[in-house]
Amino acid sequence: MNPDPARIFQGTAWYYRRYRRPYPVQLPNDMVAYFHLNGSGRLLDLGCGTGELTVPLSAHVADAIGVDPSLDMLEEAKARAAQAGVANIRWIQGRAEDISFDLAPLRLTTAGVSFHWMRQEVVLTKAYELTEVGGGMAIISDISPVRGRDKTEAWKVRRRELIEKYLGSERRAGDHLHKDFISEKRPYAELIAASPFHTFVHKEYPYTTERDIDQIVGFLYSTSYANLRLLGDRADEFEREIRDELSRLVPSGKFIESGKAEVYLLQKK
């Protein structure tokens, strides 16, 4: 069975909109400044999820388009836009690789912590072809707050152990394994250098986030690898155990996570 990108995050959208960590405030501000977003032009947000980037950036363009394989994600994105009073966004269910020339001309294409799911060479080439001169693409990446083996604090180790206890040691991606979608991981710098964009500006945004136990659990349910659908009839057992174990290890109930968001700014010259 071929992996279906529409099912990677199936069942997570409600949690995704409410429990995903916001981008560092300076990150979208830098994108607006770098690409001179002044209220004109078109934004295309690939793998838009629940509109975390699409909605705030739409204030700086004439119109915006959010594309995502998941209909559930798009429904939550529409709700986010409606709540913010935003009416200049069109939402399209589909894959980033399938974008067509009728979306041109683009001022900016974004991929917010979604580029790793895509056929990257195809997306880079298509984005370049659809972009007006002076516009470009912004690719955002972030360190996983859960899966990284560098998480050595006791509660972070225990969180990873419990995920593996209930769902196996191989990282899941919906109905498949993560490696089914991402068989090799080329550095973004290498991919960009081989693309029509050729060059980029790279910026980093370190951050620290404090969460409570509800937010820790809610975030897990927003992921492709530890959500309620995958846990199935063991979901209640998993939640009881992770709440008990993590609360025992962090009696204050304040869970501190540090990370680093990165953005690659590519301009068509």
**Could you read off the pLDDT of 56-79 as tens digits, one per residue?**
999 999 999 999 999 999 999 999
94: left (phi over 0), alpha (psi -120 to 50) or beta: left
Q: State both tokens at 188.
A: 């973004």
pLDDT tens digits, 41-61: 999 999 999 999 999 999 999
Quote the pLDDT of residue 148.
60
How crowded is residue 10: how many other Cβ atoms within 10 Å of its Cβ? 19
Task: Express each pLDDT in 19-38 by its tens digit.
Answer: 999 999 999 999 999 999 99
User: Quick one: DSSP state of residue 11?
Assistant: T
Q: Kindly state the tokens that stand for 197.
A: 């964009």
The Cα–Cα gap between 98 and 94 comes to 7
| pLDDT over 70 at 150, yes or no | no
In this prediction, residue 149 carries a pLDDT of: 59
Percent share of the chain, pLDDT over 70: 96
Higher-scoring residue by pLDDT: 178, 37: 37
Is a pLDDT exceeding 90 seen at residue 224?
yes
Q: Copy the structure tokens of residue 180.
A: 């089914």
∠ CA 113-39-28, nearest 5°, is: 25
Cis-peptide into 196, omega within 30 deg = no
Mean pLDDT, the chain, as a whole number? 94
Q: Note the pLDDT of residue 139.
A: 98
Q: Residue 118 in contact with residue 97, Cβ under 8 Å?
A: yes
Q: Considering only CA atoms, which of 19, 64, 22, 24 is closest in space to residue 41?
A: 64
Give percent above pLDDT 90 in the chain.
86
| pLDDT interval class at 12 (50, 70, 90) | very high
Nearest one of 177, 202, 180, 178 to 189, comparing CA atoms: 202
Task: Give counts: helices (H), strands (E), the chain.
Answer: 11, 9
Beta strand 89-93 with 63-68: parallel, antiparallel or unpaired? parallel
Distance CA 65, CA 70 (A): 15
Q: Which of 185, 167, 190, 189 is nearest to 238 (CA)?
A: 167
Q: Confidence class of residue 183 from pLDDT cuts 50, 70 and 90?
A: low
Q: Which tens digits make up the pLDDT trace of 227-243?
A: 999 999 999 999 999 99
Write down the pLDDT at residue 151: 67
Concatenated DSSP letters of 43-89: EEEET-TTTTTHHHHGGGSSEEEEEES-HHHHHHHHHHHHHHT---E
The token pair at 176 is 């498949």
Question: Which tens digits make up the pLDDT trace of 84-99?
Answer: 999 999 999 999 999 9
Does the pLDDT value for residue 1 go beyond 60? Answer: no
3-state SS, residue 226: coil
Please report which confidence band the pLDDT of residue 181 belongs to, taking 50, 70 and 90 as the band edges: confident
- Average pLDDT for residues 167-195, to the nearest whole number? 87
* pLDDT value of position 176: 82
CB contact at 8 A, 38 and 14: no
> What pLDDT is attached to residue 184?
66
How does residue 152 score in pLDDT terms, banded at 50, 70 and 90?
confident
pTM of the model: 0.94
Provide the strand spans (E) within 143-219.
172-173, 176-177, 201-211
Let me know: does 154 contact 249? Beta carbons within 8 Å.
Answer: yes
Least confident of 116-125, 137-146, 175-184: 175-184
Q: What mean pLDDT do residues 145-165 have?
A: 85
Count of other CB atoms within 10 angstroms of residue 70: 25
